[in-house]
């Protein structure tokens, strides 16, 4: 397993994590098989947004004796009042459901208290100007949560969340199709309607959000990694052909700021299939052929696909570009974390011998040589 540091929290997440939704309305045996197969293989992070007592209790039973091995994303504001999944911004409900999470999981802390479903201006003001944020801060002070996070599907609102400086973790929906949807679109509608009927072009506002997260050390965990499975299905894929799960996972994991791709699994086999990503060859992971057709005005920007490798100087070009992009957001004040990550690379921009082989291979017309020079100048090596 590969682990990535979660921003400034001191915690690290496995790059493959678990989504919890497919454990809902399933027997205990399902949760037990999925969670313990994941744990046995080094998975250490899972999302539990589901508000029902039964699924939460099943998860708690499955984690018995291993609770400390799994980082839990628990949500503040996910409720099932009237037996239906819902969002609440009302403090007594938020408290009731958080306390039920502790009780059902048989734990006295949750790793990430996630401010739930912040997709609109109203969601933002309800959560950040209302009592929910104060409650999350109180929980953190009491040690009942270790860090504050938030979940969103909207890049404009998520950006506002990140800019508050209040969250260490963002759960965000990322896949190649969503990254080409207009940023004002409700991406969940695309899943509900069984189609992705929109003008496809990489949306710079989503890309800008990921760069901002990298710059501010706000870690991203990814939901909808496979677009609810639709990107794998030739009937629904908006790209004229299906993507593989490995390509989708790799796409998510190569966005700046991303620490873990969460996969919803309901069988042991599905967990093992997701973990297959770790042994996949570079050619299996390569998504550039699909995404490059829809680059639109994004041409010339790195999408971190690594299609340009190998590099004779062994530079990880995508990683250099990732840190350079984060640094360029404010070149006068490059965060130390970004500089440290760049400096920790085995080979850096200054080692580029300008052979030009990467530029010939890059489907996105990225001026790599120029960017390597720029990185070397900005980071000093």
Give the C-alpha separation, 313 to 315, whole Å.
5
CB of 360 to ligand SF4, least distance (A): 9
Stretch that binds ligand SF4, among 37-45, 91-99, 108-116, 304-312 (CB under 6 A): 304-312
**Segment lying near ligand SF4 (by CB under 6 A), choices 40-48, 109-117, 236-244, 368-376:** 368-376
Give Rg (Cα) of the chain. Answer: 20
Q: How many residues bind ligand SF4 (CB under 6 A)?
A: 28
| 350 part of the interface to ligand SF4, by CB under 6 A | no
Strand partners, 16: 261
Asked whether position 139 contacts ligand SF4 by CB under 6 A, the answer is no
Distance CA 381, CA 378 (A): 8
Q: How many angstroms separate the Cα of 263 from the Cα of each of 199, 282, 328, 361, 377?
A: 27, 20, 32, 31, 39
- Interactions with ligand SF4, residue window 265-294 (CB under 6 A): 288
The residue within the footprint of ligand SF4, chosen from 311, 326, 334, 378 (CB under 6 A), is 311
Cα–Cα dist 372/95, whole Å = 50
Determine if 326 is a binding residue for ligand SF4 (CB under 6 A).
no
Q: Is 355 in the site for ligand SF4 (CB under 6 A)?
A: yes
Among 267, 316, 350, 357, binds ligand SF4 (CB under 6 A): 357
Q: Which of 302, 324, 327, 375 binds ligand SF4 (CB under 6 A)?
A: 302
> Is 157 in contact with 121 (CB distance < 8 Å)?
yes
Q: Which two tokens stand for residue 257?
A: 């700021």
Q: Does 354 bind ligand SF4 (CB under 6 A)?
A: yes
Which one, 27 or 367, has the nearer CB to ligand SF4?
A: 367
Residue 178 vs 304, nearer CB to ligand SF4: 304
262 phi, psi to nearest 5 deg: -95, 130
């Amino acid at each position: 397993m590969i682990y990535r540091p979660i921003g400034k929290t001191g915690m690290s997440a496995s790059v493959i994590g678990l989504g919890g939704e497919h454990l809902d309305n399933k027997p205990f045996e399902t949760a037990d098989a999925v969670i313990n197969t994941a744990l046995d293989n080094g998975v250490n992070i899972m999302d539990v947004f589901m508000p029902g007592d039964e699924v939460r209790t099943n998860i708690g039973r499955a984690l018995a004796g291993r609770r400390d091995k799994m980082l839990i994303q628990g949500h503040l504001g996910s409720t099932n009042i009237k037996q239906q999944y819902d969002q609440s911004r009302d403090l007594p409900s938020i408290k009731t459901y958080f306390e039920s999470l502790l009780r059902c999981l048989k734990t006295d802390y949750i790793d990430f208290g996630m401010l739930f479903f912040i997709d609109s201006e109203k969601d933002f003001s309800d959560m950040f100007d209302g009592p929910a944020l104060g409650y999350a801060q109180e929980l953190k002070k009491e040690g009942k949560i270790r860090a504050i996070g938030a979940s969103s599907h909207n890049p404009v609102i998520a950006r506002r969340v990140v800019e508050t400086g209040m969250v260490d973790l963002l759960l965000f929906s990322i896949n190649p199709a969503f990254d080409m949807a207009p940023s004002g679109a409700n991406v969940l509608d695309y899943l509900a309607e069984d189609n992705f009927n929109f003008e496809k072009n990489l949306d710079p506002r989503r890309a800008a959000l990921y760069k901002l997260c990298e710059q501010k050390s706000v870690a991203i965990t990814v939901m909808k990694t496979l677009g609810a499975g639709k990107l794998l299905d030739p009937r629904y894929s908006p790209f004229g052909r299906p993507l593989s799960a490995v390509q989708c996972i790799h796409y998510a994991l190569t966005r700046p700021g991303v620490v873990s791709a969460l996969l919803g699994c309901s069988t042991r086999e599905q967990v093992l299939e997701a973990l297959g990503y770790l042994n996949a060859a570079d050619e299996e992971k390569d998504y550039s052929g699909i995404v490059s057709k829809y680059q639109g005005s994004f041409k010339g920007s790195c999408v971190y696909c690594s299609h340009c490798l190998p590099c004779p100087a062994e530079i990880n070009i995508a990683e250099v570009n990732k840190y350079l992009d984060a640094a360029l957001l404010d070149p006068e004040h490059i965060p130390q974390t970004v500089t440290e990550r760049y400096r920790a690379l085995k080979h850096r921009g200054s080692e580029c011998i300008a052979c030009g082989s990467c530029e010939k291979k890059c489907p996105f017309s990225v001026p790599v040589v120029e960017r390597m020079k720029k990185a070397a100048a900005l980071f000093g090596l």
